[in-house]
Amino acid sequence: MSSTHPLAGIGVLVTRPQAQAQPLCRLIESAGGRPLAFPTIEICPVADPEPARILLGEDWDLMVFTSRNAVELALALGFDGTWPRVTRLAAIGRATAAALTAAGRAPDLVPPERFDSEALTAMPELAAMAGRRVLIVRGEGGRALLGEVLAGRGARVQFAEVYRRVRPAVDARALVADWPTRVGLAIATSDEVLQNLVEMLGAEGRDLLLATPLVVISERTAATALGLGFRRVRVAERAEDQAIVAALGELAGGAAAFSE
């Protein structure tokens, strides 16, 4: 295994939604790995977008986008991306910030290191929120923490839910049958991605999956993985493709037995 090819022929299961997997797959290939796209979530518009459309067109002191999907699906409702009626924009994560910037307006607030609700609410700019109107743009059933914290500081919080996450209907039997020769490492970028993966592989694939070293992007998902029975879990330093590939490389020595 060389420093320029740290994954050295190891198969890596990429579980991101199909539309978002290609940049990560290319990085895995550049590190010598063999990416295997196996989406465990599909991103779809909500059944009734009108409530979100109305909220997105109102005046807000702060509008928070929780993901790149939230940006893309909000823009798809007919907004130009400059958000002229919003005083401050916030993004959880650099990919989300990049999507906002590309759409016409860079966010005012982005957590500097960890990219989650805890990091955003720790920013000093959000310490005094009494009376502020806040809109959180997210998918259906998103985490409650961000809204709860800001409401606890006196903000008037509402949610614009612009997308829903659906588990794909996929027959995973062929993947399970070929697992020992095809998969040496796996990636899960959220609890839902991980839970869907376990369910999609079924009882026959569970032991194979749990024995596969796993890279995640948050301590929360790491705890979920360990609770499920995963034996080796590594948290990437940041929720970015380069950091995910670096974490894969750190685990690659233990996955060498799975490489061709």
pLDDT tens digits, residue range 238-253? 888 999 999 999 998 7
pLDDT for residue 214 is more than 90: yes
The two beta strands, 214-216 and 233-235, are: parallel
Give the β-pairing of 214-216 and 185-188.
Answer: parallel
Average the pLDDT over 223-232 and give the result.
96
Strands 11-14 and 185-188, sheet pairing:
parallel
Find where tokens 């490489």 sit: 259
Mean pLDDT of 185-198: 95
The proportion of the chain whose per-residue pLDDT surpasses 90, expressed as a percent, equals 82
258 has pLDDT over 60: no
**pLDDT digit string, tens, across residues 91-111:** 998 889 999 999 999 999 999
pLDDT at 1: 46
Give residue 4's pLDDT. Answer: 65
How high is the pLDDT of residue 2? 52
pLDDT of residue 155: 98
User: Rounded to the nearest 5°, which phi and psi values hold at 240?
Assistant: -135, 155
According to the model, what pLDDT value does residue 259 have?
35
Whether residue 216 is predicted with pLDDT greater than 80 in this model: the reply is yes
Entry pTM: 0.81
pLDDT of the residue at 3: 56
**pLDDT (tens digit per residue) in 27-46:** 999 999 999 999 999 999 99
* Amino acid, single-letter form, for residue 10: I
* DSSP β-ladder status, 42-45 and 156-166: antiparallel
Sequence-separated (6 or more) residues with CB below 8 Å from residue 203: none
